[in-house]
């Protein structure tokens, strides 16, 4: 829903959903079923802001052409998957420079210890790997992302809950020092986003090189599916579908009746995993057919997605500018005239 600038300093609506996703690779089934699908469903719950976190991605992607291409692809993918720019504001993080200024203000109230406890940094340090200040202060930028839009609900995976706590902590400290400036957000753990298995049965993740991308070339996708690891139990042996990663993937995409039938075949035995893989190829094809068609249309008209992002950035900036003014006034950065942007 577009933000009316005259409303920007007034009380935020009761539900404002916001989330960000890093363009560090093309989206895989884990990203879709674990995060993106729920973000898209939530666009109906109230006002929604979704952004492509390119500033965060800079902590890992250091090839400019690749970053540019991943950002564009992420936007095309999200719209193709059902993110509706008429209902949700879709934008690129770095198109809203107000957020980086807000990051500095938050940094001045952020204890080092709070960031030292954050897992991304801690994990690198424990493994003896060099960490830069970008990775160390990553959670502060994320807090600014959330606070700049007066977000109330932030849908995230389990791994991001700690960062929402940091955001609440920083907002609380700033408010305590300077008055009621920021709206405190709540995390919303994505439902059903438990753990999508990869081709080797571990959690699907870019880091494990076991992903199947949502919009992968169908021939490549088929090859990957046919290579999903399975056990070597004899064909006739009855098997439990629960906990079988091939079945879990099939269950995510197959219609209910096919899922029940397949579970039954597992329990009876007398089937080959090759047949399940073929059924998975078909189920995935059908499940993403509409999104693939929409993606092809969008690809044919690159200006369309760029226009969506430009419109999203303008709406997002209006909101972020109002919050930044509130924060600047509160901590004494503005001069001349009375403070302008009190939170209503
Ligand atoms: P990756 O592990 O491939 O680098 P990211 O960390 O960029 O993926 O994940 C982006 C979002 O997708 C996060 O919210 C995360 O919770 C979700 N996600 C990623 N992989 C999975 C998975 N295998 N199952 C469920 N959710 C996942
Ligand atoms: N750190 C998040 C991730 O890796 C992405 C992100 C950046 C984000 N800023 C955010 C998510 C603000 C929610 C809100 O998945």
pLDDT digits (tens, 9 = 90+) for 243-253: 999 999 999 99
Confidence bin at 13 (pLDDT 50/70/90): low
Verify whether residue 206 is a known catalytic residue: yes
Q: What pTM, to 2 d.p., does this model score?
A: 0.92
Any ligand 1 atom below 6 A from CB of 72: no
Quick one: CA torsion of 158, 162, 167, 172, rounded to 10 degrees?
Answer: 120
Phi, psi of 61 (to 5 degrees): -95, 115
pLDDT of residue 10: 52
* 194 CA closest ligand 1 atom index: 25
Atom of ligand 2 nearest to the CA of 142: 9
Ligand 1 proximity of 30 Cβ (cutoff 6 Å): yes
Residue 189: the pLDDT is: 87
CATH no. of 16-195+301-331? 3.40.50.620
The arithmetic mean of pLDDT across residues 252-269, rounded, is 96
> Whole-number mean pLDDT of the chain?
92
- Region 292-299: mean pLDDT is 97
User: Which tens digit of pLDDT belongs to each residue from 314-336?
Assistant: 999 999 999 999 999 999 998 86
Alpha carbon of 226 to ligand 2 centroid (Å): 33
Q: Given a cut of 90, is residue 181 above it in pLDDT?
A: yes
Asked if residue 150 has pLDDT above 90, the reply is: yes
124 assigned to active site: yes
pLDDT at residue 136 tops 80: yes
The CATH class of 216-287 is mainly alpha
The bound ligand whose nearest atom lies closest to the alpha carbon of 31 is 1
Angstrom distance (rounded) from CA 264 to CA 159: 35
Q: Where in the chain is the domain with CATH 3.40.50.620?
A: 16-195+301-331
Ligand nearest to the CA of 59: 2
Query: Residue 186 catalytic?
Result: no
Q: Which of 54, 157, 210 to mutate to test the pocket of ligand 1 (most atoms within 8 A of CB)?
A: 157
pLDDT of residue 7: 47
Residue 257: its pLDDT value, please?
A: 97
Looking at the predicted structure, is the pLDDT value of residue 343 above 80? no
> Where do you find CATH 1.10.240.10 in the chain?
216-287
What percent of the chain has a predicted confidence (pLDDT) above 90? 82
Whole-number Å distance, alpha carbon 162 to ligand 2 midpoint, is 11
Kindly report which listed range (75-84, 173-182, 189-198, 320-329) carries the lowest average pLDDT score.
189-198
Contact 106, 114 (CB under 8 A): no
Supply 52's token pair: 């492509």
């Amino acid at each position: 829903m577009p933000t009316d600038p005259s409303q920007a300093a007034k009380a935020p609506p009761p539900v404002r959903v916001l989330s960000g996703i890093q363009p560090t690779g093309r989206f895989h089934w884990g990203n879709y079923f674990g995060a993106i699908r729920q973000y898209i469903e939530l666009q109906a719950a109230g006002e929604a802001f979704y952004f492509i976190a390119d500033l965060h991605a800079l902590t890992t992607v250091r090839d400019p052409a690749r970053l540019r291409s991943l950002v564009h692809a992420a936007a095309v993918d999200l719209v193709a998957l059902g993110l509706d720019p008429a209902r949700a504001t879709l934008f690129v993080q770095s198109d809203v420079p107000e957020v980086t200024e807000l990051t500095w203000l938050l940094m001045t109230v952020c204890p080092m210890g709070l960031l030292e406890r954050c897992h991304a940094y801690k994990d690198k340090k424990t493994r003896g790997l060099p960490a830069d200040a970008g990775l160390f202060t990553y959670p502060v930028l994320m807090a600014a992302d959330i606070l700049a839009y007066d977000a109330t609900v932030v849908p995230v995976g389990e791994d991001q809950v700690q960062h929402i706590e940091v955001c609440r902590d920083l907002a609380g400290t700033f408010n305590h020092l300077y008055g009621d400036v920021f709206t405190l957000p709540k995390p919303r753990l994505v439902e059903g986003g438990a753990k999508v298995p990869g081709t080797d049965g571990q959690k699907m993740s870019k880091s494990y090189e076991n992903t199947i991308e949502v919009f992968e070339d169908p021939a490549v996708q088929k090859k990957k599916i046919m290579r999903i690891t399975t056990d070597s139990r004899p064909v006739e042996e009855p098997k439990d579908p629960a906990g079988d990663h091939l079945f879990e993937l099939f269950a995510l995409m197959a219609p209910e009746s096919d899922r029940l039938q397949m579970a039954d075949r597992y329990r009876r035995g007398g089937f080959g995993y090759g047949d399940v893989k073929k059924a998975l190829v078909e189920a995935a094809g059908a499940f993403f057919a509409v999104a693939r068609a929409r993606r092809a249309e969008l690809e044919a008209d690159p200006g369309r997605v760029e226009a969506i992002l430009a419109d999203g950035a303008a709406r997002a900036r209006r909101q972020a500018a109002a919050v930044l003014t509130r924060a600047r006034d509160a901590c004494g950065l503005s001069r001349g005239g009375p403070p302008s942007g009190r939170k209503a």
